[in-house]
Structure formats: C-alpha cells, structure tokens
Amino acid sequence: MYELIKQWLSNQGVAINLLSLTSILISSSIIFLISGISYYLVRHKALVTIKQVIQNSKNQWDDLLLEHQVFSRITLLIPFLFLLFLTPLLLPSDHIFTGLLLILAKVAISFQVAHCISAILNVSKSVYKEKAKERYLPLNSTIEILKLAIYLVATILAISFILEKSPIYLLSGLGALTAVLLLIFQDTIKGLVASIQISVNRMVAPGDWIELPQYGADGDVLEIGLSMVKIRNFDRTVTTVPTYALVSGSFKNWRDMYNSGGRRIKRTIIIDIGCICFYDQDKINQLNKIKLLQKYLSDKQQEISLSCQNQGETTPDNINTRQLTNIGTFRAYIDAYLKQNKNVHHQMTCMVRQLSATPTGLPLELYFFSNDQDWVNYETIQADIFDHLFAMASYFDIRIFQHPSGHDWKN
C-alpha cells in the first residue's frame, strides 16, 4: 500500500523530499480513519444491539455486564487493534513514525485489556457478594489484589514495549527493588494479611454493626477493602478505618446480638433509702388488687404465718417476725411485670436486683432483653417500661431519688 501511494504521488510530480512525508500522512490518515470507523460501528451499532438483547433477557448477571461497562471497555480495544495491524501494512517498517504508532497501540492495548479484566472482576464481585458475606470470604480484598497484579503486569508490558526489552529482563531487575517495593506497598501487604485474618476468624463482615471509639466509628460496615474499611455511622457520615486496625486493635461487633433475637436492656432505678419501710395489713390488702402481685402476696403471707408459728408468735411483729417491705414488693412487681410483657424476650435472662447502696440512694437494676433489635423499637420498648414503673412507684410508697431542683427549693 505504501509503495502504491508513493508511485501515485511520483506520477503526479510531487517532489522526492516531500514524497515520503506526504505518503506517510495519507497512510496515517487512512489508518486513523479506519480505526475511527470501526470504533463508531462497534460503539453505536453492535453495542446498541447487544444492550437491547441483554435488556430483553431474563438473566440477572448479564445486566451486571452493562452496569460495570464491560462491553464499553471492550469496544475501546477495537481501534487500537486496527491501529496495531494496519500500521505495518500501510507504513514503512523502518520509519520512526511507524515505531511510535506500534508502541502506542501496544501500550494502549495492554492497559485497555487490564481495564476490561478489572470490569469483569467487578461483575464477579457483584455476583458473589452475598455468598462471600455469608462465608466471610475476603472478596473485596482478593479482587483488589488481582486488580493490582493485573495493572502491574500491564505496566511492565508497557515499559517493555517502550524500551523494546523483554518483560523477563525487567522482572529480573525487580529483585533488587524488593525492599523499595515492600516500603511502597506496606499498607497493601498489611491490609491483605489483615483481611485474611478477618475472614478466617470471622471477625466482621459487611452489614455488621461495629464500634471503634478510637476512630470515632459507630455504625454499619459498608465495605471491607484491601487498605480501608468503610463504616457508615448512625448520623449518616462515613468513617474510613485502616483494615489492619481491626486486627491490631479492639472493636465491638453487635452481630451476635442480632443473631440471638434479643437486645439487652440494663438500667437502674435509684430508690430513696429513706422511704423504705414495712407494710401493714391494710396496705397489703390494698396491693392485693394488683393482679400481678396476688400470687406473690399470697405466697409471702403464708411464709410469714409459718415463720411466726415456728417462732411461737401469734401475730406478726415488725421487730421479731418477718414482714413485707415496700422495696421487696416493688421488686417483685417489676419482675412479674417484665415476665408478662410481650416485648420482653422470655428465653433470655430477665431479673431485677439490688446493687450496693450509694450516696444517691439504692440502685434497683433491671436486666432483661427486648425481642425487637430495631433501634427505634428498642428505645420505645424500654421507655414504655420505665414510664410505667416510674408512675407505679408511688403506689408502693416508693420515692425515686433525684437531686433537688428549683421546684424543690421553692416548696
């Protein structure tokens, strides 16, 4: 082709010093024109047809090929392939411009192939994302390592094309740069090791709620990458944490709480110690109207009567015999109230206990689990329970302690 163009220009009387340059320009124009036409036909004709076929299909995975632009990236290979094959045919092999075009085509093909493989890896990540999450496989980290290796190979090939040296020649020189490479990729290596440990030990997976106070992170894990872990906090901000920080430090994972079916509620009611007293029979008869206490009061009264008989006492005496206290009765009521509450998980620990007295009063701790882990419902459940208990305290002659307010001083 080049010789034909040269002969045609010579027949037209073109000067010899302009002959070579003119023929090269014409041949180059033909090469770029054919490459451009091929790209246009593939991009706007063939690719449109492929998209229509995929959109009409019932498969899900082929939609991911469009979403991650696999076909779009493959179409960019077409003009570079035409450039690579047409250049030796239309241009002289010994011309410097021919060598530049060939190097350009080879370098572009190397990186574009890596770009296409990267898109295919993105598709595989989307397809196997849920399976990897269930099996705690470090899919993101593995894919990022593969991408890094692919682009590294593409870079080595590109450099070998530019220097016209064998890739093996370049790889032989990497041994001397091992220390430098380890320094450059130290975070990547640490992240890879950390992601493997996280996967093997099943420490965390995307979707888990974790807390890392040292990084200000408290929320759901979005993605576990090779070097960074993305955490979406509950205020909708996103915190990035180094992957190796999950291995080198400590964090709290709430996964088992969700899997258990319950969420713990652990709160105290501070009782004014000065209000603790014995109940007389009139108060006991009044409390017998509360259905949740009827069995407790009946059993306790029998125990007290039996204790009096054993001690030789005919009537209960506040000093010498056992008596019901308001704090004990209130504690029994709370226990019965929690055990009949439909929002309390009845297969998990549920108890009411006294803690050591403090200068502010006697702590009465409620330790139980709600059967709804949703944050909003969880807060509503415990608020409803404590609203009721605070309101019921006065029925048991119980005073809830609080520091004096302006209203107290006014009274």
314: CATH = 3.30.70.100
Residue 35: predicted pLDDT: 82
How much is the mean pLDDT over the chain? Answer: 81
- The helix/strand/coil state of 1 is coil
Please give the Cα distance from 9 to 71 (Å, whole number).
Answer: 42
Please give the Cα distance from 408 to 387 (Å, whole number).
Answer: 22
Please give the Cα distance from 314 to 367 (Å, whole number).
Answer: 39
Q: Are residues 307 and 236 in the same domain?
A: no
Measured between its terminal Cα atoms, the distance across the chain in Å is 109
Q: Are residues 313 and 223 in the same domain?
A: no
**Looking at the predicted structure, is the pLDDT value of residue 21 above 80?**
no
Residue 14: predicted pLDDT: 45
Residue 318: predicted pLDDT: 60
Retrieve residue 128's tokens.
Answer: 């196997």
Residue 19: predicted pLDDT: 43
Domain boundary among 233, 255, 277: 255
Report whether 131 contacts 125 (CB < 8 A). Answer: no
Question: Which domain, by its residues, includes 156?
Answer: 2-197
Please give the Cα distance from 323 to 300 (Å, whole number).
Answer: 9
- pLDDT tens column, 305-318: 887 777 766 665 56
- Which residues 6+ apart lie within 8 Å of 235 measured at CB? none
Please give the Cα distance from 1 to 6 (Å, whole number).
Answer: 9
Retrieve residue 60's tokens.
Answer: 């899900």
Q: Are residues 364 and 239 in the same domain?
A: no
Q: Are residues 171 and 28 in the same domain?
A: yes
Q: Are residues 91 and 104 in the same domain?
A: yes
**Average pLDDT of 327-340?**
94
Q: Are residues 248 and 294 in the same domain?
A: no
Residue 328: predicted pLDDT: 92
**Average pLDDT of 221-231?**
83
Q: Are residues 191 and 155 in the same domain?
A: yes
Which H or E run contains 305? helix 291-311
CA distances from 219 to 198, 240, 372 (A): 18, 12, 18
- The helix/strand/coil state of 295 is helix
Strands 351-354 and 228-233: unpaired
Report whether 209 contacts 255 (CB < 8 A). Answer: yes
**Average pLDDT of 199-209?**
80
**Average pLDDT of 168-173?**
68
Share of the chain above pLDDT 90, in %: 24
CATH number of the domain residue 226 falls in = 2.30.30.60
Strands 209-212 and 362-370: unpaired
* More confident of the two residues 37 and 97: 37
Q: Are residues 125 and 242 in the same domain?
A: no
- Band (381; pLDDT cuts 50, 70, 90): very high
**Looking at the predicted structure, is the pLDDT value of residue 239 above 60?**
yes
- pLDDT tens column, 106-124: 888 888 888 888 888 888 8
Please give the Cα distance from 331 to 383 (Å, whole number).
Answer: 18
Which H or E run contains 267? strand 263-271
Report whether 217 contacts 211 (CB < 8 A). Answer: yes
**Looking at the predicted structure, is the pLDDT value of residue 326 above 80?**
yes
Report whether 105 contacts 84 (CB < 8 A). Answer: yes
Q: Are residues 124 and 83 in the same domain?
A: yes
Which H or E run contains 255? helix 255-260
- Which residues 6+ apart lie within 8 Å of 247 measured at CB? 193, 194, 197, 198, 203
Helix 291-311 vs helix 326-340: crossing angle, to nearest 10: 140
DSSP code, position 138: -
CA distances from 137 to 128, 133, 148, 198 (A): 10, 6, 19, 9
Q: Residue 260 CB: number of other CB atoms within 10 A?
A: 14
Q: Number of folded domains in the chain? A: 3
Q: Are residues 246 and 291 in the same domain?
A: no
- Which residues 6+ apart lie within 8 Å of 254 measured at CB? 208, 209, 210, 211
**Looking at the predicted structure, is the pLDDT value of residue 98 above 80?**
no
- Band (173; pLDDT cuts 50, 70, 90): low
Q: Are residues 164 and 222 in the same domain?
A: no
Q: Are residues 45 and 77 in the same domain?
A: yes
**Average pLDDT of 41-70?**
76
Residue 13: predicted pLDDT: 46
